[in-house]
Structure 1
Amino acid sequence: MTNTLDALTPAFAPFAARWDAEADRRAKLRTPEHLKALMDAQRAHNSARSTAARAQSQRAAARKESKNPFGTARRAAATADRAARQHKSETKTALKGARRDYPVTLGTLAVRTHTLHVVTSSAASWLLSSSHDLTTWPLLASAGLVGLNAVGLGLGRRKLSVQLDDGLSLEERQLVERLDPAYWVAHAADRGLSGTVTTPPQVTPGGIRCNVRLDGAWTTKALKDKTDNIRSLLGARTALRIRITAGTRGGWAVITLATRQATDGTSSLWTPDMIPADPGLMCIGLDTETGELVFVPFDERLLVSGASGTGKSWSVRVLLATAHLRGDLLFIDGKGEEANVWERVCRVAVETDEIAAAIDEAHAEMGRRKADMKRRGISVWDGRQLTVMIDEGQVVLAAIAKDKDRLQKLIELSSLGRSRGVVLWWATQYPVTDGTPGVHKLIAPNLLTRFSLRVAGTTQAQVALDDCAHYAPHQIPDGKQWRGHGYLKGYGPRLIRTWTLDDDGVRALPARYWKASAPATPVMVEPAEDKPAPLTNRDRVLAAVRDGARTPKDVTEATGLNKGTVSRELKALTEAGTVRRADKGLEVAA
């Protein structure tokens, strides 16, 4: 049964592709603005119809009252009637345009069409029937059409997975046959592709790859504009990614069909032993077309962009772990959720006062290193790298928006810190520099290494990848299987699947907390079974309350923590029932 269905699927794929394309077009037109315009047009047309009916009635009454066709009353009524009918015609035309701009969904249109067919078929069946012979063929034909439509869509949308003797799936077999020069040349003209000639396609670990010769006035850009024509010629699924790039020499282009990924069957889980031996590089993931490791500079400023739900936090974790194990890490988390995992491992800043203090200390460390470099007569810092990670950038910028001095320190960290071993990494869901920015317009130009998962649109893509925005990160498919997939600026428009690090993996990292006044080489605190786990901020707050601190101020003085940290930890302890507020102040619950 599966083989039979897979054999039928290619024949129905173009039908399903056209259906899905039309359904998507209609869905995109159904915006709130178009709905408002349709409702306004309907109201205007109903009002015009009412006015026209009233004017027609008044004209008929005027005719009855006066026999003189040139009388003032009759001429006025006639003029009003003509104006009302003209206005009615204009509003009807406007209503038709509004309906085109806000069409019904394709499913609703299909239901209405089949309903009309059933009604008319039933009437025809009744009219053609006799007392002894009931003609039911129109009704059966309507039901058959409904079933055929549903079956066609189901078959056309099936994803083929059956492997043939040559290792190709049925979908790949069909695509390879249609990319063959003999088939392509015979059918290209029908799809507006006359003047292009393919070479025999190759099946690679990343999908099907085929060179195309461009004759006459054809260019790679012109061929890209014909992507929908190519999809129709090949009968490819709507969801199948088709990438068209320039060839190795002029007059040639390359079509890549992502029917498979080189990363299929490869675990995405990252472990510390995967850190490259070269201290100047870190691995961000795997090329989905070749399966090769993809590296980025470790000591370069970095911008990571990705809309909510694209796997940005998981992808960044691997980079943070590399920075933590190789040097010092200062994690400024604007949202706070990710810091819940990292606070047991490294220095984190979540509350506004913590963020301000972290920026001040990082800037002061940059100044201290400058003085040390001048004293030793060196131009590049030769000690441990301090990585300052900011996530989410929009929240952090909003927190210090009115503090021009602190914002200037952040800008200087991005522009001056690299040579002094203080490297800024920036992550944001909103890669825009205007309005409510996700990255400041004076910081973004300094972040030369850029990686982008799926973003909202072309504006975000321009900031996310700069002059490589044509990779189109906003067109990465939306789905769980595409989380953690993105493009690296300058690497080429090939998707990269990033590594992932779960919560347990983060907690297994050795704990080390950076402070501006710490020695140049802090001591690593390796977890061991015979050593107690390091005290957390929550443990310190609880111990202070147990020792007699009765107010948040007392706890702050006893622990030396920031007021925001004390407030957050007290709230958590109170909600958990560990600490309660009594008449005399804070106390540990019995």
Structure 2
Amino acid sequence: WTTWPVATSTVVIAAQVAGLWLGRRAVVAQVDDEGLSAEERRLMERLAPTYWVQHAEEQGLERTLTERPEMTPAGIVCGVRLDGKGRSAKWLASEEDAVRRLLGMRTETRMQITKGSHGDRAQIVIRTRSASDGLDLMGWAPGDAWAVDTVTGETVPVPLGKRILIAGTSGSGKSTSARPLLAEASEPDDHRLVIFDRKYVEGRTWEHRARVACELDDMRDVVEELIAEGEERLKSLPRGEDTVKISKARPRITIFVDEGGELLSDCAAKYKDESGKNADFDDVIAALRTIARKYRAAEIIVVWATQKPTLSGDGHGLDSQIAGQLTIRLALAVATSTETQAVFGPDAIEKGWKAHELPMPWVALMRDQDKGPKQRTNPVRMRWMTAQQVIDLPPRPIWARTTATAGVPAAQPEAERPALRLVKDGAAEVPTPRPAPAETAPVTNRDKVLGAVRDGARTNRDVSDRTGIHKGTVSKLVKALVDSGDLVKHPDHGLVLGGAEEVSA
């Protein structure tokens, strides 16, 4: 060692350089090409352990090692071993940008980093494919699935009888994705549909299958009927039963509120009543709160849809009391992470519920409160319908409180059954057939107001007391009937019938 110091040092340095070169050489992972796209092949090569271990430290991902990646119907799945203090699935998820840099991944490619099979394992899922690829989910027939899990391919049935929140920004497919739910909720003989729509468009599409209310006065009347129906059902609920049994006579009623933000805003707006005082329609929202809180057992179910699923601020689309009763949360693409948290809770993003990162349209996340916290955060692809497909559906009975069986002919009362008539010779009693009762159209509020005036009501208050219709609604109806000439405001006699039935002084 003392005789050949220079030569010995040269050999050692050369060995070290060779070792460094061997350790830093480019290794190309071998990937079986089973119909992979060029992008998938490149990602599989970079996820391979031979590539990952050489470049992880450059991105601050030292002490991590990938397992062999696999191609699944939902995309690429790869396990990651995490060694050393501070290394966890949560930590790796926080380093998502570094993982993307290491893999050279496109910005629009979706990726999830979640817990693995053990405490020192994580799992990377890159959504290059979908288990719903190739499926035609346009249109609806009775019994069709509402959605398909893009990871497992499992179908998701329409959750009839569940209170639901449907959120999604403009263009996400919210309205078209809700239509299969509405079609299913109006199809069976023991189901009826009610729609509140301040924008008119969706409601008009369903006029042949649902009771539609677009004007606030009409909504006020409908909620009054629904509360009366709910109270009657709860009072008749047999002891020991949790919910009423639905039937043609007592169908399940699904109330679909479209564009909830518009409804909240319009109901809060002030207007001048007939006496010049400020008034509003907050009683409509108060009634919907009562329906959402109280009448699930009566099979009166609220479904609330909104573009802006926030509880406060300008244009907020959720009422806090109603939102608290909605057990199924379905979010298509929403605008911000704040809206994601409003739908799924403050811990939503940490647990993988990232609705603000969903593609558009018709891709959603669905969380069912009744299933508990351990639910898959797999995106689902929604079934959807065009407006013309809705219009082409066959008509269904329309629910109204004034019709005994909510849109179908009432059962024949006991008093109207065939009566017995004595025959002169006393040999027998022969039933005398009665004509079948004619099906009458539901009594409208307009008819009620005219009837009250005909029976002697002379002021708006009289009409409201006799009919039970809200005084604001009475005021607007009276004005419309005066304008049309059906009523006359006589200076001495008050309200009188107009036209052919006009009462002279």
How big is each residue's C-alpha offset from its partner over 1:16-63, in whole Å with a ceiling of 9 and x where there is no partner?
xxxxxxxxxxxxxxxxxxxxxxxxxxxxxxxxxxxxxxxxxxxxxxxx
Match of 1:302 in 2: 164
TM-superposed CA distance for 1:467, in Å, is 5.2
Identity of aligned residues (%): 36
The answer as to whether partners of 2:163 and 2:326 remain within 8 angstroms in 1 is: yes
Task: Indicate if the aligned counterparts of 2:113 and 2:124 stay in contact, CA closer than 8 A.
Answer: yes
Output the CA distance in 2 between the equivalents of 1:187 and 1:165.
23
- What is the aligned partner in structure 2 of residue 505 from structure 1? 389
| Aligned match for 2:36, one of 153, 160, 168 | 168
Counterpart in the other structure of 1:543: none
What letter is aligned with 2:257? I
Q: How many residues align?
A: 359
- Equivalent residues of 2:148, 2:382 under 8 A apart: yes
Unaligned residue ranges in structure 2 (runs of 5+): 1-31, 269-279, 369-374, 410-440, 442-472, 481-498, 500-505
Counterpart code for 1:301: R
Q: Which has the higher helix share?
A: 1
Q: 1:409 aligned to 248, 263, 287, which one?
A: 287
Q: Is 1:475–2:357 an aligned residue pair?
A: yes
SS at match of 1:419: coil
What secondary structure, in the 3-state scheme, does the structure 1 residue paired with 2:51 have? helix
Counterpart amino acid of residue 253 in structure 2 = L
- Which structure 2 residues correspond to residues 353-432 of structure 1 after superposition, within 5 A? 353-373=217-237, 378-383=241-246, 384-401=251-268, 402-432=280-310
Structure 2: distance between partners of 1:516 and 1:396: 23
Distance 2:159 2:143 in 1: 15
Tell me if structure 2 keeps the 8 A contact 1:417–1:424. no
- Render the CA deviation track for 1:346-401: whole Å, top value 9, x for unaligned: 21111111222222222221112112225x77431101211011011111122323
Counterparts in 2 of 1:335 and 1:463: CA distance versus 1, 3 Å? same
Show the 5 A alignment for 1:87-166.
166=34
User: Hey, what does 1:495 align to over in structure 2?
Assistant: 379
Aligned residue in 2 for 1:457: 336
SS for the counterpart of 1:274 is coil
d(CA) in 2 for partners of 1:492, 1:304: 18
Deviation at 1:520, TM superposition (A): 3.4
Shift of 1:344: 2.5
Q: Residue type of the partner of 1:379?
A: D
Q: Distance in 2 between matches of 1:177 and 1:224?
A: 21
Pick which of 510-519 and 318-327 moved more: 510-519
Deviation (angstroms), 1:273: 3.5
Q: CA deviation at 1:522?
A: 4.4
CA contact (8 A) 2:193 2:209 kept: no
Measure how far apart 1:313 and its partner are.
0.2
- Tell me the secondary structure at the aligned position of residue 322 of structure 1: helix
Residue by residue over 1:222-263, the C-alpha shift from the partner in whole angstroms, topping out at 9 and shown as x without a partner, is: 111111111111111111111111113311111011111121
Quick one: structure 1 residues 468 and 340, their matched pair in 2 at CA, closer, same or farther if it must change by over 3 Å? farther
After alignment, is 421-430 or 228-237 more displaced? Answer: 228-237
The partner residue of 2:174 within 296, 303, 312 is 312
1:26-425 to 2 correspondences below 5 Å: 166-216=34-84, 217-275=86-144, 283-295=145-157, 297-326=159-188, 327-373=191-237, 378-383=241-246, 384-401=251-268, 402-425=280-303
Q: Secondary structure at the match of 1:297?
A: coil
Report the TM-score when normalising by structure 1: 0.57
Cα separation, 2, equivalents of 1:249 and 1:328: 49
In 2, Cα distance between the equivalents of 1:354 and 1:441?
24
Deviation at 1:341, TM superposition (A): 0.9
Structure 2 CA distance for partners of 1:405 and 1:340, relative to 1, 3 Å: closer
Match of 2:405 in 1: 520
CA distance in 2, matches of 1:396, 1:221: 40
Aligned partner of residue 236 in structure 1, secondary structure: coil
Change (3 A) 1:381 1:467: farther
Report the Cα distance in structure 1 between the residues aligned to 2:154 and 2:240, rounded to whole angstroms: 41
Question: How many angstroms apart in 2 are the aligned matches of 1:449 and 1:316?
Answer: 13
Residue 289 of structure 1 aligns to a residue whose secondary structure is: coil
The Cα offsets for residues 182-214 of structure 1, whole Å up to 9 and x where unpaired, read as 111111111111111111111011100011111
Q: How far apart, CA to CA, are the structure 1 residues paired with 2:347 and 2:147?
A: 19
Structure with greater proportional strand content: 2
Name the CA distance, whole Å, in 1 between partners of 2:405 and 2:62: 68
Counterpart CA distance in 2 for 1:361 and 1:398 is 23
**Alpha-carbon separation, structure 1, partners of 2:345 and 2:180:** 24
Is the contact made by 1:175 and 1:234 (CA closer than 8 Å) also made in structure 2?
yes
3-state SS in 1 of match to 2:348: helix
Q: 1:196 to 1:404 in 2, by over 3 A?
A: same
**Which stretch shows the higher mean deviation, 165-174 or 321-330?**
165-174
Residue identity in the other structure for 2:81: R
What's the counterpart of residue 69 of structure 1?
Answer: none
Maintained 8 Å contact 2:142/2:184: no
SS of 2:105's equivalent in the other structure is coil
Q: How far off its partner does 1:458 sit?
A: 2.1
Give the aligned residue type for 1:509.
L
What CA distance in whole angstroms lies between the structure 2 residues aligned with 1:235 and 1:429? 34
Query: What's the TM-score once normalised by structure 2's chain length?
Result: 0.67
Does structure 2 conserve the Cα–Cα contact (< 8 Å) formed by 1:304 and 1:464?
A: no
Structure 1 residue identity aligned to 2:294: L
After superposition, the Cα gap between the structure-2 partners of 1:309 and 1:461, relative to the gap in structure 1 and judged at 3 Å, is same
Match of 2:273 in 1: none
Which secondary structure state, in structure 2, belongs to the residue aligned with residue 253 of structure 1? Answer: strand
Q: Separation in 1 of the partners of 2:394 and 2:218?
A: 23
Separation (CA, whole Å) in 2 of partners of 1:296 and 1:508? 20
RMSD: 2.6
